[in-house]
Amino acid sequence: MNPHRPPPTHRLPFFRRRGAPRVEPEPGPDSEQTPTDDTMGAAASKAPWTPSYADVRVARAILKTLKLPTELTLDILDRARYWPTREFGGYAASAQAGARIIGLVNVMSPGIGRELGANKDEVPKIKEIEFNIKSRDQGWTSQGTEGTYNTSSWLEVFILRPRALDEGTHDLAPDLVGRNRLYPNIKDFQDTAYKYGWHLISRPPSPEQDPQSEEEFAWHLQANKVASRDTRPYNIVWAEDGHTGNEGSGNGEGFVKILQEGDQVVVLGRAKVCREVIYCSSDFDASFYPSKIGIWNGTDRFV
């Protein structure tokens, strides 16, 4: 590709290339999101250009003119992280002896392919999800576990799936997404979601699943460092073929592979007992790649 060629002029909202400065979405008139304090907020900056599906197809075609094997062409694009990426904002919240939502996004909304510029016969698939969170506990403990991640406050991720895709848009009700609502347990969250037309998706069984995530629907995301008064940033990436993270993070086993059209991703901040508190905020990115309906074979993704 000609390095002197200017990038395309079209832009997609809230999209960015990995590693580029982050942009905080503008809250809508009905949004509950409020500005966070200095320890929880992130500086806004101008969104850089990011490739669309059309750009990915052009890059692939250029590489194929070099008569490279398809597998090598795809590997080059993967190593360059040349994917459409959509950015989602979260909330700042705290929870005591229960759970509160700090992130809920329509990551695989119906029509996501059209939003990304995919062809009609292409179905977007999640390549990876990157979570960026800031979190801490109450800053003290009586358990003698200072400085470890053997904690009673942590973050978990859930998948919400509509019970039927043909029953409307499945917008989440304010009673479910309101940051002021404290769920005493996951059963209460599950029952509330079901009431509004959603159900939680079970995670694949795994002996390595963090013991704090005793519920069958929860993927452990990040534990707090015990008795830390400083808000700590954490970066966790879950992909189909692996994960990266910090001490105390979860591996997201099976999470990306399970996601399908219509799913919403929920991040919950949790604390186990009344004297434990979690303070946290989140945002995350989802990177997509296209596949052809019926002929995707896992290797030649762009047949």
Mean pLDDT of 273-296: 48
Parse the chain into domains and list their residue ranges.
Answer: 88-292
Ranked by mean pLDDT, the top range of 35-39, 47-51, 89-93, 95-99 is 47-51
Give the C-alpha separation, 237 to 221, whole Å.
Answer: 10
Give the C-alpha separation, 57 to 52, whole Å.
Answer: 9
Give the C-alpha separation, 233 to 127, whole Å.
Answer: 23
Three-point CA angle 128, 230, 272, nearest 5°: 70
- In this predicted structure, the answer to whether residue 95 has a pLDDT above a threshold of 80 is no
Q: What is the 3-state secondary structure (H, E, C) of 189-217?
A: HHHHHHHCCEEECCCCCCCCCCCCCCCCC
> What pLDDT, on a 0 to 100 scale, did the predictor assign at position 241?
84
Check: CB of residue 145 under 8 Å from CB of residue 281: no
Cβ-defined contacts of 254-259 (< 8 Å, 24+): 254/203, 254/204, 254/206, 255/129, 255/157, 255/159, 255/203, 255/219, 256/126, 256/127, 256/128, 256/129, 258/159, 258/201, 258/203, 258/204, 259/107, 259/108, 259/126, 259/159
Dihedrals φ, ψ of 195, to 5°? -60, -35
Give the C-alpha separation, 126 to 128, whole Å.
Answer: 6
Phi-psi region of 180 (alpha: psi -120 to 50; beta: other; left: phi over 0): alpha
61-99 burial string, b = 16+ CB within 10 Å, else e?
A: eebeeeeeeeeebbeebeeeebbbbbbbbbbbbbbbbbb
DSSP state string for 24-57? PPPPPTT-------TTT-----PPPP---HHHHH
Task: Give the number of other Cβ atoms within 10 Å of residue 26's Cβ.
Answer: 11
- Residue 113 has which token pair? 């392919």
> What pLDDT, on a 0 to 100 scale, did the predictor assign at position 66?
93
Dihedrals φ, ψ of 177, to 5°? -95, -10
- In this predicted structure, the answer to whether residue 107 has a pLDDT above a threshold of 60 is yes
Minimum mean pLDDT among 72-86, 89-103, 158-172: which range? 89-103
Give the C-alpha separation, 91 to 178, whole Å.
Answer: 10
Average pLDDT of the residues of the chain: 68
For the chain, the residue count is 303
- The answer to whether the pTM exceeds 0.95 is no
pLDDT-derived band at 219, boundaries 50, 70, 90: very high
- In this predicted structure, the answer to whether residue 235 has a pLDDT above a threshold of 70 is yes
